[in-house]
């Protein structure tokens, strides 16, 4: 059974079903949409359960040749990395949809767009053909654009087009890069071009070619992540998007970038990756500090969380380019965890926004007295986001930091300061919104209802569960991550350092961050 194709198809078909619902029964839209979006979740859970632990190859593979001449195939498959990206997507969409009850204007369209978006995101994570990957990667923009444009708040026109143009500029380079790579692969594969991952992986690329292609791919993903200094679209888009849009944007769409780096930049252009790693990781670390610093001064809670995303994504980038199994696993784990925690925060902000229609921190105060349950869950999510041990955020960022130290010691140390800054911006915001005397404007607000609690509970359980027992996730990620490292090791001079097996770098020797182990040099 073409399980993965079905996974992609369900939401698209669901969108069609929603679009065909009778106009006079608007109350059907939400349940139908929710029902449709739960089906992929079931599939994703089944995939996770059936996934062969320890097997590094792509599983549940499918292949259908679209064009012989151009070497394009419908090739799908999941490995330990995409498995959880799919899972995260499958989880966040039903939640985001369930949280969309306040959308009553053109609800059908809204629901259809959400489902199209879901299908497209599945496509990105499952496609193993560069051109098909690109197609899904790019089409994601449109439903998201419309979600912001139509259901966004105040400054939505500007924010939506900014979102599209920033990311599309990256896509332009990505497409050019994919085409160039496809042409080169075509020479080996004996067709005009070839975009299939096995074909593309077989190409021998010179260092210069690798460098250019790496940059072409990298800039697209860097904008998507977003990596400093390409991040300025994100606060606007997050802030103006409707709640579900923000949840999906932060929870899922940003991961398209880091996933792309991991899947393509590292494996396709290992030489360039090793050469550029310190610089890109440095940008990631700048993002960690810069995003956190900017978050501190935001007067708008949604913007604050948006900037915190910039900071968290920096950890993922740092881990991705540290080239140790610890750091890479930490990166993937942080992707999952960030989706859960930031998703939770945006949902919570949406719930309060529905009540008060303001996002300004200054308009609140003493909320914990008025809505104690809400406050408790908010604080939980904030601490999860700030990397409190025992919650999922910690596992990922901790593993990234420990894993990055061996190859990028200075950056890892600076990145560690993120823990302080995260505490500052989140707790300061919490203090201003939830503590202190009760602001008269928010007196008498209702605490979370059953429906809202039901939305939050899965996230809370997962954040806690993954924080306490991350092993089931980690053990599925590990083999896939090691495949990437093996490829880097075999294709380049780089050796992944082993912890505890050699004298640890002393503080004076800092040049080990040039990406090469200096085992030979020191003896």
Partner 1 sequence: MTDFLWLVVLLPLVGAAVNLIFGKRIGEPFAGWLGFVVVASSFVIAAIPAYDVIAGTAEPVTVHLFSWIPVLGVEAEILWDPLSVLLTLIVTGVGSLIHLYSIGYMHGDERFPRFFAYLNLFIASMLILVLAANYAVMFVGWELVGLSSYLLISFWFTKPEAAAAGKKAFVVNRIGDWGFLIAMMLIFAAFGTFDFHTIFATAEGVLSVGMATAITLLLFVAAAGKSAQIPLYVWLPDAMEGPTPVSALIHAATMVTAGVFMMARSAVLFEMAPVSGAVVATVGVLTALLAAVIAVAQTDIKRVLAYSTISQLGYMVLAVGVGAYSAGVFHLTTHAFFKALLFLGAGSVIHAMANEQSMLKMGGLRKVLPVTFATMGVAWLAISGIFPFSGFWSKDEILAATFAKGGAWLLLYGLGLLVAILTAFYMTRLFVLTFLGGRRWDEGVHPHESPASMTIPLVILAVFSFGFGFVNTPMRLGFEHFLEPAFHGVPHPDALDDSVIWTLAIVALVSAVVGIALAWRRYNRDELPAENTGWWSSAMAGFHVDEWYGRLFVLPGKRGAELAGQMDAKGIDGVAHGIARGVREAGTALQPVQSGKVRGYAGLLAAAGVVLIVAIVVIGGGF
Partner 2 sequence: MANGSLLAVGFEVVLLVGALVVLLVAVVAERRRQVWGPVVGITFLLAAAVGLWQWMTVQDGGGGLFFSMSDLAILRSPMVVMDGFSAFAAMVLGLVGFVAFLGSWDLQARLGKRAVEFSALMLLGVAGLHMMAGTPNLVVIFIGLETASIAFYVLAGFTRTVKGSDEAAFKYFLLGSLASALFLYGVALTFASTGSLTIYGADSIRNFFNLELVTEPGILLVGMGLMLVGLMFKISAAPFHQWAPDVYQGAPSGAVGLMAAGVKVAGFAAIGRIFVAGFISQIDAWAPIVATIAAISMVVGTVMALVQTDIKRLLAYSGVAHAGYLLTTIVAGADGLPPMWFYVGTYAFMIVGAFTVVSVVNGPGSADSSLDSFKGLARRNPEMAWLMAILMLGMSGMPFFAGFVGKAFAFVTVADAGYLWLVVLGTLTTVIGLAFYLKVVSTMFTDAERVEPVEASMPARFAVVIASVVTLVFGVVPWPLLDVVANAFPF
Residue 507 interacts with, from partner 2, partner 1, none (CB under 5-8 Å by kind): partner 1
Long-range contacts, 187-194 (Cβ 8 Å, 24+) = 189/71, 191/68, 191/69, 191/70, 191/71, 192/69, 192/70, 192/71, 193/70, 193/71, 194/71
User: Could you identify the residue written with the tokens 């992944």?
Assistant: 496
**What element of type H or E holds 442?**
none
The answer to whether the beta carbons of residues 245 and 148 sit under 8 Å apart is yes
For partner 1, the binding residue among 65, 165, 202, 457 (CB under 8 A) is: 165
Give how far the C-alpha of residue 485 lies from the chain's centroid of Cα atoms, to the nearest Å.
Answer: 21
For partner 1, the binding residue among 417, 447, 511, 522 (CB under 8 A) is: 417
Q: Which two tokens stand for residue 36?
A: 């449709």
Torsion of CA 125, 45, 144, 104, to 10 degrees: 170
Among the candidate windows 213-221, 344-352, 362-370, 483-491, which touches partner 1 by CB under 8 A?
A: 362-370
Rounded to whole angstroms, how far apart are CA atoms 422 and 292?
6
User: Is 293 among the residues that bind partner 2 (CB under 8 A)?
Assistant: no
106: region left, alpha or beta (phi > 0 left; psi from -120 to 50 alpha): left
Shortest Å distance, C-beta 212 to partner 2: 10
Cα distances from 13 to residues 37, 53, 106, 523, in angstroms, run 11, 31, 19, 63
The answer to whether the beta carbons of residues 234 and 167 sit under 8 Å apart is no
For partner 2, the binding residue among 13, 169, 410, 424 (CB under 8 A) is: 169
For partner 1, the binding residue among 177, 235, 284, 339 (CB under 8 A) is: 235
Among the candidate windows 128-136, 211-219, 345-353, 368-376, which touches partner 1 by CB under 8 A?
A: 368-376
User: Is 183 among the residues that bind partner 2 (CB under 8 A)?
Assistant: yes
Residue 206 interacts with, from partner 2, partner 1, none (CB under 5-8 Å by kind): none
Scan residues 467-486 and list those touching partner 1 (CB under 8 A): 468-471, 474-475, 478
Kindly tell me which of 7 and 496 has the beta carbon lying closer to partner 1.
496
Shortest Å distance, C-beta 132 to partner 2: 9
* Residues 6+ positions from 330 with CB-CB distance below 8 Å: 315, 319, 395, 396, 397, 398, 399, 400, 401, 402, 403
Which is nearest to 94 in space by CA: 164, 43, 56?
43
User: Is 326 among the residues that bind partner 1 (CB under 8 A)?
Assistant: yes
For partner 2, the binding residue among 28, 34, 135, 379 (CB under 8 A) is: 135
Kindly tell me which of 19 and 38 has the beta carbon lying closer to partner 2.
19
Among the candidate windows 157-165, 197-205, 329-337, 487-495, which touches partner 2 by CB under 8 A?
A: 157-165
Shortest Å distance, C-beta 241 to partner 2: 15
Residue 34 interacts with, from partner 2, partner 1, none (CB under 5-8 Å by kind): none
Shortest Å distance, C-beta 353 to partner 2: 21
Rounded to whole angstroms, how far apart are CA atoms 77 and 49?
15
The answer to whether the beta carbons of residues 351 and 424 sit under 8 Å apart is no
CB atoms near residue 299 (< 10 Å): 13
User: Is 209 among the residues that bind partner 2 (CB under 8 A)?
Assistant: no
User: Is 436 among the residues that bind partner 1 (CB under 8 A)?
Assistant: yes
For partner 2, the binding residue among 182, 270, 505, 515 (CB under 8 A) is: 182
User: Is 215 among the residues that bind partner 2 (CB under 8 A)?
Assistant: no
The answer to whether the beta carbons of residues 403 and 325 sit under 8 Å apart is yes
Rounded to whole angstroms, how far apart are CA atoms 382 and 374?
12
Alpha carbons within 13 A on the beta-carbon side of 230: 25
Contacting positions for partner 2 (CB under 8 A): 66-67, 69-70, 131, 134-136, 138-139, 141-142, 145-146, 149-150, 157, 160-161, 164-165, 168-169, 171-173, 175-176, 179-180, 182-183, 186, 192-193
Contacting positions for partner 1 (CB under 8 A): 162, 165-166, 229, 231-232, 235, 290, 293-294, 296-298, 325-326, 329-330, 366, 368-369, 376, 383, 388-390, 394-395, 398-399, 401-403, 405-406, 409, 412-413, 416-417, 419-420, 423-424, 427-428, 430-431, 434-438, 468-471, 474-475, 478, 498-501, 503-508
């Amino acid at each position: 059974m073409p399980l993965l194709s079905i996974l992609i198809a369900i939401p698209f078909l669901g969108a069609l079903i929603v679009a065909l619902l009778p106009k006079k029964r608007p109350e059907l839209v939400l349940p139908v949409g929710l029902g449709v979006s739960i089906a992929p979740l079931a599939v994703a859970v089944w995939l996770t359960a059936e996934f062969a632990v320890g097997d590094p190859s792509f599983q549940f593979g499918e292949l259908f040749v679209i064009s012989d001449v151009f070497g394009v195939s419908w090739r799908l498959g999941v490995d330990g990395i995409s498995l959880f990206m799919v899972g995260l997507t499958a989880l966040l969409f039903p939640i985001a949809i369930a949280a969309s009850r306040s959308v009553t204007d053109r609800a059908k369209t809204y629901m259809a767009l959400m489902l199209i978006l879901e299908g497209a995101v599945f496509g990105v994570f499952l496609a193993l053909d560069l051109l098909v990957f690109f197609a899904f990667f790019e089409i994601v923009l449109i439903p998201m654009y419309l979600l912001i444009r139509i259901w966004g708040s105040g400054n939505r026109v500007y924010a939506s087009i900014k979102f599209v143009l920033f990311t599309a500029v990256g896509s332009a380079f990505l497409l050019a890069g994919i085409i160039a790579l496809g042409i080169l692969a075509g020479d080996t594969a004996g067709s005009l071009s070839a975009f299939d991952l096995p074909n593309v992986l077989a190409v021998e690329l010179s260092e210069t070619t690798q460098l250019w292609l790496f940059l072409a791919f990298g800039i697209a993903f860097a904008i998507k992540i977003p990596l400093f200094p390409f991040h300025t679209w994100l606060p606007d888009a997050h802030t103006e998007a409707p709640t579900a849009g923000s949840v999906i944007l932060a929870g899922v769409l940003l991961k398209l970038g880091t996933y792309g780096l991991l899947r393509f930049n590292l494996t396709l252009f290992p030489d360039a990756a090793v050469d550029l790693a310190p610089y890109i990781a440095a940008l990631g670390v700048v993002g960690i500090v810069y995003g956190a610093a900017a978050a501190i001064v935001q007067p708008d809670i949604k913007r604050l969380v948006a900037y915190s995303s910039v900071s968290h994504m920096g950890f993922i980038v740092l881990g991705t380019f540290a080239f140790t199994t610890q750091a890479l696993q930490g990166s993937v784990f942080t992707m999952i965890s960030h989706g859960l925690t930031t998703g939770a925060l945006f949902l919570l902000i949406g719930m309060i926004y529905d009540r008060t229609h303001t996002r300004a921190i200054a308009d609140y105060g003493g909320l914990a007295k008025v809505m104690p349950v809400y406050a408790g869950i908010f604080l939980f999510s904030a601490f999860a986001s700030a990397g409190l041990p025992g919650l999922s955020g910690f596992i990922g960022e901790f593993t990234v930091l420990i894993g990055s130290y061996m190859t990028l010691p200075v950056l890892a140390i600076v990145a560690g300061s993120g823990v302080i800054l995260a505490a500052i911006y989140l707790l300061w915001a919490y203090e201003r919104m939830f503590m202190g005397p009760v602001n008269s404007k928010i007196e008498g607000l209702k605490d979370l209802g059953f429906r809202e609690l039901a939305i939050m509970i899965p996230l809370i359980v997962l954040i806690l569960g993954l924080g306490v027992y991350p092993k089931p996730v980690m053990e599925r990620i590990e083999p896939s991550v090691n495949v990437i490292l093996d490829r880097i090791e075999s294709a380049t001079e780089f050796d992944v350092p082993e912890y505890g097996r050699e004298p640890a770098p002393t503080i004076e020797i800092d040049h080990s961050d040039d990406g090469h182990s200096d085992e030979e040099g020191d003896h």
